Amino acid sequence: MVDYNFKVMEIKVPPIVDRFPLPTYGDSDVIGYTNMRAVKQGRCKMRSVKVRKDELLQLVQKNREKHIAEYQDAVKDYKTLAIQKVQDSMEQLQRRIGELKEGEVIHLGHIVFNLKVPENHSKDYDQVIKMLQMSVDAVLEMQSDEFAMYAMDDWEWKNEFYATATSNKLSLR
């Protein structure tokens, strides 16, 4: 679980935001909440927020470590599933060889694995971390889409990443 416990310095809120409830996270002083889907769907009316650089840096570093652990788990599942599928195909091919040697005429077809390799997005985190480390500002202004990615760990690739990992895990015997 990602800890969203960081201080928001200043936010610009248009009056329409009052119609949308803003969740809080425990004792956090986070006043605003957004995510990529809300921004894309036009439900997020908060456009920018100022955050403390050091708190955001810690959060992005923690999110990076979480992604790396999830990626390593996804790769482990992928390799296990790939080995299973290759072994199954080899057994099927051995049977086909036997059938051909016995004189049967058979359709060989194609071997299809339908596996998607998990993608490592740690470089996305690395870029943000390096930018934050090199920034001379103690307080940074972020747009809502940046906040969604960096603070909420809600990247555009996240759903695809989880779909691939989940699909491979569910396909394991």
pLDDT, tens digit (0-9, with 9 covering 90-100), for 119-141 = 999 999 999 999 999 999 999 99
DSSP state of 53: H
Q: Which residues lie closer than 8 Å to 35 by C-beta, 6 or more apart? A: 44, 148, 152, 154
Say if 110 falls within a structural domain: yes
Say if 3 falls within a structural domain: no
Say if 76 falls within a structural domain: yes
Give 86-110 pLDDT, tens digit per residue.
Answer: 999 999 999 999 999 998 888 888 8
Q: Which residues lie closer than 8 Å to 156 by C-beta, 6 or more apart? A: 36, 149
As a whole number of angstroms, the distance between CA 113 and CA 86 comes to 8
Say if 42 falls within a structural domain: yes
Q: Which domain holds residue 65?
A: 8-171
pTM above 0.75, yes or no: no
Say if 2 falls within a structural domain: no
Question: For the ranges 32-36, 54-58, 133-137, which has the lowest average pLDDT?
Answer: 32-36
pLDDT at 12 over 60: no
Look over the chain and give the mean of its residue pLDDT values, rounded to a whole number. 81
pLDDT of residue 77: 95
Say if 100 falls within a structural domain: yes
pLDDT of residue 26: 40
Say if 167 falls within a structural domain: yes
- The count of domains in the chain is 1
**pLDDT band, residue 30 (cuts 50/70/90):** very low
Please count the CA atoms within 13 angstroms of the CA of 163 that sit on its side-chain side: 6
As a whole number of angstroms, the distance between CA 42 and CA 36 comes to 10
Say if 56 falls within a structural domain: yes
